[in-house]
Amino acid sequence: MCGIVGCILKENKDVAPILFNCISKLEYRGYDSVGMATFNGEINVKKAEGDIETVDSALNFRNMKGYFGIAHTRWASTGKPTDENAHPHLDETGTVAVVHNGTLENYSYIKEELIKEGHEFKSTTDTEVIPNLIKKYMDNGLDLENAVRKATEKLKGSYAIVVFAKDEPDKLVATRMNSPLIVSYGKEGYFVASDTPAVLEYARNVVRPKEGEIAILTKKGIEIHDANGKKVPWRSEYIDWTPEMAQKEGYDHFMIKEIIEQSTAVRNTLGQKANIKKVIEEIGDVKRICFVACGTSYHASISGKYLIESLAGIPIDVIIASEAKYTAKTWDEDTLVVFISQSGETYDSRMALKQARKTSKTLAIVNVAGSAMSEEAEFVIQTQAGPEIGVAATKTYVAQLTAIYLFAGLLAGDDDLINQLYKVPTYIDEVTSQREYIKELSSRYDFADDAFYLGRGFSYPIALEGALKLKEITYIHAEGYAAGELKHGPLALIDEKVPVFVIIPPGEDYDKTMTNLEEVKARDAIILSVGAEGDEKIAKNSRMVFEINPAVKDIIAPLVYIVPLQLISYYVTLDKGYNPDKPRNLAKVITV
């Protein structure tokens, strides 16, 4: 998703190197174009399609002049990734500059209106209507703040914008609706950005403007105004994520660093036990729980279903957030709706959360403190994975699972399960210590066009997540299946060219999964099993095996068995020559 940054320095020195550094920290969100605008009497704009490094070597962002400016990484949603569509966008007179994250649902009507009034447009983006509206209102006599307010009143959809204008210089004006935006301050100056990693190096005191509020940044400080223009007091929180946590620290990619950090993510999230207990007490009795999430967080939710249903006997639904509106009709005051999201900003989940708040108790399990969902849900559990930069979720996933396991264990009063969780970090470290071996195993898979992942019971969501990891970064088509479903269709696709990953931990589903393994073996599939150390039956029936040591049982498997699958995806991606941190077409935070 697009990343936005704005900065105004306290002193009159050039802001461009700082802005450039900040926008580079948002690369992880996914983007296809980059641009910057600064002001030194005139608005200077440099922007183009391409990655930051390439565009910078052609345009040299860092020599732009002026002590304040805005920057943007664009992830194309309305209009193709082209130089013209890259942000910042100016109004037709070139005097109002805007960066925008989000999508405007009604931009075509506004654009038509503006065209009828004689305005001209250069791009095919939705964003370009914003500077033109602002300029129109400024020409009608409004100051910049009120022109921004009036312009945003017309917008429908999602936006976080940062604006400056030649006719009212020396300030940045920012506002948001359904898109994330933080304001922060440090020694050098005042910042606004779509996410904290952008500014951590310079400013760790973060203010989170509410939707519809307007932040005004000058070299003297920050003001936040409400929808009526009234000054509102703001409170900042200190972000204890260090800038180093969002660096590669010697690893080749964020993804491998984050896979290795999973033991720490679990350990730190286990530190939330007392908070989770308190949250459960405050929630009180519920008759039904409904998990709502997307992607990897959806897979973590399915583990939650298996766990809570088997331990606590509470009926659980798991809904993909973008499909939630139908189930939402059945939510009532006895339903707890649980939203799982690493970013806490996912648009579809947020819309479902808005809906759920009208009828039910809501709980958000998020990794980013102060994120929109953590502000909007009634109850919050914060996972402790630290910043995750790789687009493929890894450590945030095991942290989500840890929080869900604690939640389920505490809900059911299952001390045995909770005690087992404290050993998980060691199990994970044992797997990651074998990454050279996994790399070797992975080198045999880059040929594949399709792959299947099979698991039953607690291992079914592992199969789904293993397949997602493979497809999103290697671009190999992969499907996760409940092992018992195979014979109801997909078995037709299995032959000697198809890799099948079988997740088969010890436990009550073992024998049945073994039957499924034998079914694919009979079709000559290339089987790689993940099973317990020393399991000879698995070894005999599989082409390759990755052994989990010690032999954790099925109920704990989701937290451990996923790790070799993440590593396989990572190494296959490297073999194919792709960058695992930035898969094509994907973004880290999906705010549209």
> Which member of 25, 395, 471, 588 is catalytic?
588
Q: Measured between alpha carbons, how far is 399 from 496 in angstroms, rounded to an integer?
A: 37
* Burial category of 219 from C-beta neighbours within 10 Å (exposed 0-12, middle 13-18, buried 19 and up): middle
The residue among 95 and 342 lying less far from ligand M6R, judged by its C-beta, is 342
Nearer to ligand M6R, 165 or 364 (CB): 364
Residues β-bridged to residue 275:
none
The single-letter code of the amino acid at 291 is: F
Could you tell me the smallest distance in angstroms from the CB atom of residue 285 to ligand M6R?
28
Of 297 and 360, which CB lies nearer to ligand M6R in the complex structure?
A: 297
**Distance of closest approach, residue 341 Cβ to ligand M6R, in angstroms:** 3
Binding piece for ligand M6R, criterion CB under 6 A, among 75-83, 126-134, 264-272, 338-346? 338-346
Q: Which of the stretches 309-317, 327-335, 342-350, 480-488 binds ligand M6R when contact is defined by CB under 6 A?
A: 342-350
Does residue 590 bind ligand M6R (CB under 6 A)? yes
Sheet hosting strand 221-225, strand order edge to edge = 89-90, 96-101, 159-165, 172-177, 214-218, 221-225, 231-232
- Under a CB-based contact definition with an 8 Å cutoff, are residues 452 and 499 in contact? yes
Which residue among 295, 480, 499, 531 contacts ligand M6R (CB under 6 A)? 295
Q: Are 39 and 69 in contact (CB under 8 A)?
A: yes
Q: Which residue's Cβ has the minimum distance to ligand M6R? A: 295
Give the span between the Cα atoms of 357 and 352, in whole angstroms: 9
Residues 197, 25: contact at Cβ < 8 Å? Answer: yes
Contact stretch for ligand M6R (CB under 6 A) within 92-100, 190-198, 326-334, 336-344: 336-344
Q: Which residue out of 2, 7, 290, 294 is catalytically annotated? A: 2
Q: How far is the CB of 582 from ligand M6R (least distance, A)?
A: 11
Q: Where are the alpha helices (H) located in 193-272, listed in sequence order?
A: 254-260, 262-270
573 is a site residue for ligand M6R (CB under 6 A): no
When the beta carbons of 95 and 297 are compared against ligand M6R, the nearer one is 297
**Distances from the Cα of 263 to the Cα of 197, 295, 350, angstroms:** 22, 22, 29
Instruction: Starting at the earlier edge strand, list the strands of the sheet with 499-504.
Output: 477-482, 450-455, 499-504, 526-532, 544-548
Q: Are 135 and 96 in contact (CB under 8 A)?
A: yes
Regarding 542 and contact with ligand M6R (CB under 6 A), the answer is: no
> C-beta of 566: minimal distance to ligand M6R in Å?
10
What pairs with residue 168 in β-bridges?
none
Minimum separation from the CB atom of position 586 to ligand M6R (A): 6
380-399 residues in contact with ligand M6R (CB under 6 A) are 391-393
Stretch that binds ligand M6R, among 283-291, 341-349, 500-508, 526-534 (CB under 6 A): 341-349
Residue 285 CB burial class (10 angstroms; 0-12, 13-18, ≥19): exposed
By beta-carbon proximity to ligand M6R, the closer residue of 5 and 353 is: 353
Is residue 158 at the binding interface for ligand M6R, with CB under 6 A as the rule?
no
The tokens for 430 are: 């044992």
CB of 411 to ligand M6R, least distance (A): 22
Size of the site for ligand M6R (CB under 6 A): 16
For residue 574, the SS3 value is helix
Give, for 470, the enclosing helix (H) or strand (E).
Answer: helix 460-474
Residue 2 falls in the annotated catalytic set:
yes
Considering only residues 431 to 490 of the shown chain, the ones binding ligand M6R according to CB under 6 A are 468, 472
Report residue 377 as tokens: 């849900």
SS3 335: strand
Residue 349 as a binder of ligand M6R (CB under 6 A): the answer is yes
Nearest-approach distance from CB 394 to ligand M6R, in angstroms: 8
Based on the residue annotation, tell me whether 7 is a catalytic residue of this protein: no
Distance (Å, whole) CA 310 – CA 101: 42
Residues that bind ligand M6R (CB under 6 A): 294-297, 341-343, 346, 349, 391-393, 468, 472, 586, 590
Q: Would you please indicate which residues are annotated as catalytic (active-site) residues?
A: 2, 588
